[in-house]
Structure 1
Amino acid sequence: MNAKTTKTAENVTRCLKCRRVLRNASPDGYGPKCRKKVRAAARAEVVAQYKPHQVAKAQELLEQGGLIPLRANRVFLAVSSDGSATYKTHRAACTCPAGIKGLHPCKHRIAAHILLAA
């Protein structure tokens, strides 16, 4: 067999937003076009309704790949700050302790809102 025609079952890395195959793996899990869209949405008026320190934490969560789409990119699995727990989140609700209290939107909800706006 020729090495050019043989396909191997290697691990394929896909963009977390659009699910396209990535040629080069990225630390945040997004392709170049989706990364631009996410960053533009983070700068847009979507985040104008949140406090700057909350937006910074949400952007850090996105850059570290801590938000994984579950259902049609509407519900996400979010990783806690220390990495010991995961929460289901949407831009309207989150199962983290801060999201359950509901006093202020948590960083997981803000990150989901940024992704849904991108």
Structure 2
Amino acid sequence: MNATTTHQHSNCLRCGRALRSPKSVATGYGPTCTRKVKAAAKAEVVSQYKAHLVAKAEELIEQGGIIALRGHRVFQVVASNGIDTYKAAPQGCTCAAGLKGKHVCYHRIAAHILSLAA
């Protein structure tokens, strides 16, 4: 017989303050610390890629050219021509650059950023 247990936290794992909301208790971080952790994770992702690709990925996100399909794991992305669409995830993309696998495309970077923000 297997018993599944979930560990709930009464204090924030980052700053140690008491957690009150059910979401915070479940995640282990308060809302302010959650924002700080996500910002740090985004900064880490941004440092991994070329600046011009990160700028294109952020522009894609700002213009709403990327939509979550399955949770925040797979995304549908509009191509730069505005007509074609691709499926992108932090691990890969169906665009020409993504299929060749030599370079990371900006669709994949946008998917990576949004998956961290989930």
Range into which the TM-score falls when normalised by the shorter chain = 0.5 to 0.7
Q: Would the aligned equivalents of 2:75 and 2:89 in 1 still touch at CA under 8 Å?
A: yes
Confirm or deny that 1:57 pairs with 2:61: no
Structure 1 consecutive aligned stretches of length 4 or more whose deviation exceeds 6 Å: none
Give the % identical residues.
63
Match for 1:46: what amino acid?
V
Q: Which residue in the other structure is 2:47 paired with?
A: 48
Give structure 1 stretches of 5+ with no counterpart: 1-35
**Corresponding pairs, count:** 82
- Alpha-carbon spacing, 1:42–1:67, altered in 2? closer, same or farther (3 Å): farther
Match for 2:54: what amino acid?
V
TM-score where L is the length of structure 2: 0.64
1:53 match: secondary structure: helix
Confirm or deny that 1:66 pairs with 2:65: yes
Q: Which residue in the other structure is 1:79 paired with?
A: 78
- Aligned mates of 1:66, 1:42 — CA distance in 2: 22
- Alpha-carbon spacing, 1:41–1:69, altered in 2? closer, same or farther (3 Å): farther
Q: Would the aligned equivalents of 1:41 and 1:114 in 2 still touch at CA under 8 Å?
A: no
Give structure 2 stretches of 5+ with no counterpart: 1-34
Q: Which residue in the other structure is 1:92 paired with?
A: 91
Shift of the alpha carbon at 1:102?
0.9
- Alpha-carbon spacing, 1:48–1:74, altered in 2? closer, same or farther (3 Å): same
Higher relative contact order (CA 8 A, sep 6+): 1
TM-score where L is the length of structure 1: 0.64
Larger Rg: 2
More helix by share: 2
Taking only aligned residues, the RMSD between alpha carbons, in angstroms, comes to 2.0
